[in-house]
Each structure stands twice: as C-alpha cells, then as structure tokens.
Amino acid sequence: MNRSLRWFVLFLIAAFCGHFALTTLYSFQSVPATEFMRYVSTRYSAPLFHQNWKLFAPSVPEYDCQLEYRFPENGKWSFWRDVSAGNGFSYNSRIETLEQSLTSSLAWQIANNLYSRNQRAQFDRIVSSFDYQRALFFTHTLHGRIQPAPIQDSIQVRVRFRFTPAMDQAHSSQVSHLELPVYSYQP
Amino acid sequence: MMERLDNWIARLTDPALRASVLRLFPVAVFSWMVINAFMVWDVRDMLWGSDTLLMRYGATLGLIENVVYKLMYVPSIFPVIYFGHVACSLAGIWNWKWAFIPRTLAWFSGLMLYFGAIPAFNSGMLLMLLLAFYSIPVFVGASHSFRRVLNQFSWYAGALQVLLCYLFPSIYKLTGEQWLSGEAVYYSLHIERFSHPVLRNGSFLENDFLLLTLSYFAFSYQVLFPLMVLWKKHRGWFLLIGVGLHLFIAIVMNLWDFGLAMIFAYVLFLGEGSSRFLEKSFLIRSKQIPKNS
C-alpha cells in the first residue's frame, strides 16, 4: 500500500471526525462543554457550516400570527391590512414566508418583553428591539414598492393572533390583536 | 490493524464503488440549487436587491463572516452573485475533472444568498449547502487513487449529514410534549402558512384520529430513519415512504424547498440498481470508469 495514500486517508478520517464533532457541538448549544470548546465550535461552524434543525421542534406554536398595518390616509386611519396579502401576495409566496418569519420573532418579543406598569402595557423594550424595527422596515418598504402612494408620516403595526384550540376541544379559534405604538417618520 | 486499514483503503480506491450514486450526488444537490434560485425569481430583487425588504445589519467578527455577509453591505453586487450562483450550480451538475471549481463557487455564493435573506429560507437550504460542500470534490472516473478516496469520503460525509439531519430534530422533538402526545401535526396545520386552503376549508383538521396518526407516523419515520436506512433489505421501501412524506410536506405544508431538499438528498442512500435506473431516466451520461490499478 502506498504510504502517502495511507497518511492521506488518516488525515481525511481526522478531518471528518473533527468536522462532525465541532458541528454537532454547535448544533446542540445545551450540551455541556467548556467555554473554549464552545468558542471553537462556533467559530468553526458559523457561518460556513451553519445549521439549524429546530423547524417544528421541540414544539409547534399553538397560534397562527399575522402582521397587519395601517397608516393615515385622507386625514384618517386606513383600515388594517395584512402586510403580504394586503399587497397582493398569496399565502404560499416567499413574501409570506418573510412575513411569517419576522412576525414570529416579533411574537417572541411580545411574549418576553411586554410588561405592565401602573396597569398600563409598556412597549419600550419591544419597540427598541431589532425584531420590531425589522418588521416595521419590511412593512413600510413593501407598501412603498407595491402601492402607488407611499406612506407619508406615520405607520402602526399590530400582530393578529389566532389561537388554536386544544385538540379535544371545540374547533373554534380565538382571535386577538396586539397593537404596537404608532411610529412617526421624521419630516 | 494495519492490514485491515489497507484492505479498507484498497476498497475505497475501487472506481466502481458507488459510481452511480456518486454521479447522482452533485446532480441532485446542484439541480436543487438551480430550482431553489428560480423559486424566488419573481421576488429576488425584494430579497437581495438594493431596495430590499430586509433591514441590513452588520457582522464584524472576521474576514469570512464579512465576505459571506457581503450582500448585506453591498446589495448592488446581488445580480453577479445570484446569476453567478445559477451558472456555477449548472456547471457543477456535470461530472467533469474541474467541476470542483464551479461547485466551490456555487456553494459559497449560496451561502452569501442565504445570509443575505435568512428569514426567506429554512433548513432545506442549510442541508443543501452542507451537501454542496461535501460534493465539491466528487469526480467519478478519476484515475488518481487520492481522488477516488476523496469521492468515497464525500459520500460518507453527505450520508452522515442526512442521518444527523433526522437525528438532531428527533432529539429536540423528544424534549417537547407535542410530538410525544401526537398533537404536533394538528398544531402545524392550523398555522395558515403551513396549511393548504383545501385542508383548512374541509373537515380534515377536525379529524383528530387522522391527525394523531399522521403525527406519530411522521415522528416515527424521523426517529427510525438513521436505523432503517442502514438496513439494506428494506431501504428502498423505507425511502419510498419518505418520498411520500416529504411530498406531503411540500404540497400540503407549502414547504417545497424543504420537501425537495430531503427527497433529493435520498440519492445518497440508493442502491446501484436504483441509481443506474435514475441515471438512465434523467439521461445522465455515464463516463467510462477506468479499471482499478
């Protein structure tokens, strides 16, 4: 057997084991590992071998959420419209995928950063989050691209939650909306 | 020990070993890349163009991050990256000596496109990017033993990655309650984005028994995949069931990119007979395989 071929195979085995060990450690952030190992696995895996296997895992959201918006039109607020459907994109378009992804992140902000003080809902943490700004930017830009008249001075978004009833209960969904504060653009 | 290693290496250098499967591997991966690129054709400018719908943010970690995130900072280069990705993917489909060059470019431009519009993609694209990386060195018909060994390692890496792609989510799902109680598909199909209007408007979503069965079936398939796919005798039937499952995900749950990615990845587990049949069906020209030296 060619000696150099043997060494080459041994090198490939080492690279193979090292690659999968590091990417596995990266995939399981909850596995106990030293800070150094975690650093090495993250630096190695992201972004070239980034992976995320959490689609529908560990649980599926027990609600459907949609992003809606309104804006001042002829001196009064427009009606609420779905960001993608309201701009002519069907439920199976990639723009709806974008909307869903951004709304899921915004829903996470609502679940974790909405609090009340003096019995009033406080939105400061949510509106300063990247997820809120991203949703707002997406809404504003999509409207500007599709609609003939762009949004001039202010915009308001809300998240429409449709809660899925438990499996053994009556099949009627409960719908609720969470309106976020009005965002005004600088003149 | 050394003798066993040498025997194994000698087997790896056999040019006929998994020849058809290895020929189909890059065909499947880079065909998916081309299909995926055209699936976003009508909205490509909204995803990556200078007037993108996605807010830009920076990555300041290092050189590789900055290159991969380049589309974030310089959206004007998007046509070069997008059309370059399609062209390189097409060139990567063919089994030729220098295919590793367009494949490397297709993989890297694919990463740039993914990181330029993360919310628009799912783990289907991530799996295909990983498989694209592993398939870079594949060249069936190589005369050099080093390259033949590399071919086999490409297959090992690709196959292991697909197994892990089933194993990791299974472990995550075992930590939740919904999959174990069989309610996961019920909740998934109640999300508008993942539910075909025909299902939503009919009585399908009220049939608890059917939804429970579907949920346990999908979960069992996922958990059993890493074991069953190694069992040669029934592998074909098992993969066929998987194709049905992923077609359901593609059509009913509207996850075409993910469903097709999983189906295309199955080529790695095909037997010689099935892979030859596929080769003939898709008119892939088999190159004369040189005799083992």
Residue range B173-204, pLDDT digits in tens: 998 889 999 999 999 999 988 998 888 877 88
Low-confidence ranges of chain A (pLDDT < 50): none
- Would the pLDDT of B293 be above 50? no
Residue A132 to residue B92: CA distance in whole angstroms: 40
What pLDDT is attached to residue B205?
83
Residues 6+ apart with CB under 8 A from B280: none
Which chain A residues are within 8 Å of B43, Cβ to Cβ? 93-95
Best to test chain B binding among A3, A42, A56 (most B CBs inside 10 Å): A56
Chain A contact for B184 (CB, 8 A cutoff):
yes
B52 touching A, CB under 8 A? yes
pLDDT for B290: 54
The reply to whether omega before A58 is within 30° of 0 (cis) is yes
What is the mean pLDDT of the segment spanning B34-60? 90
Q: What global pTM score does this model have?
A: 0.94
High-pLDDT (> 90) share of chain B, %: 73
Residue from the list A54, A100, A142 with its beta carbon closest to the beta carbon of B53: A142
SS3 at position B123: helix
> B interface mutation test: which of A16, A29, A54, A59 has the most B CBs within 10 A?
A59
Q: Which of chain B's residues have a Cβ under 8 Å away from the Cβ of A53? A: 123, 165, 168-169, 172
Q: Per the omega criterion (within 30 degrees of 0), is the bond before B15 cis?
A: no
A2 SS3 class: coil
Residue B219 pLDDT exceeds 90 = yes
Contacts of B40 in chain A (CB under 8 A): 94
Q: What integer pLDDT is reported at residue B72 of this predicted model?
A: 86
The reported pLDDT for the residue numbered B3 is: 87
Say whether residue B176 is in contact with chain A using an 8 A CB cutoff.
yes
Helix, strand, coil: what percent of chain A each, to 5?
45, 20, 35
B83 in contact with A at a CB cutoff of 8 Å? no
Q: Give the 3-state secondary structure of B14-29.
A: CCCCCHHHHHHHHHHH
Question: Minimal Cα distance from A141: which residue of B?
Answer: B53
Question: Token match 């609720």: residue?
Answer: A176
Q: A154-163, B103-112, B128-137, B222-231: which has the minimum mean pLDDT?
A: B222-231
The tens digit of pLDDT for each residue in B234-284 reads: 899 999 999 999 999 999 999 999 999 999 999 999 998 899 888 888 766
- Give tens-digit pLDDT for B64-104: 888 999 898 889 999 999 999 999 999 999 999 999 999 99
State chain B's mean pLDDT as an integer: 91
Residue of B5, B12, B45, B53 to mutate when probing chain A, most A C-beta within 10 A: B53
- DSSP conformation letters of A53-99: --TT-S---SEEEEEEEE-EETTEEPPPEETTGGGT--TTSHHHHHH
pLDDT at position A3, please?
86
Residue B284 is predicted with a pLDDT of: 64
ipTM above 0.90, yes or no: yes
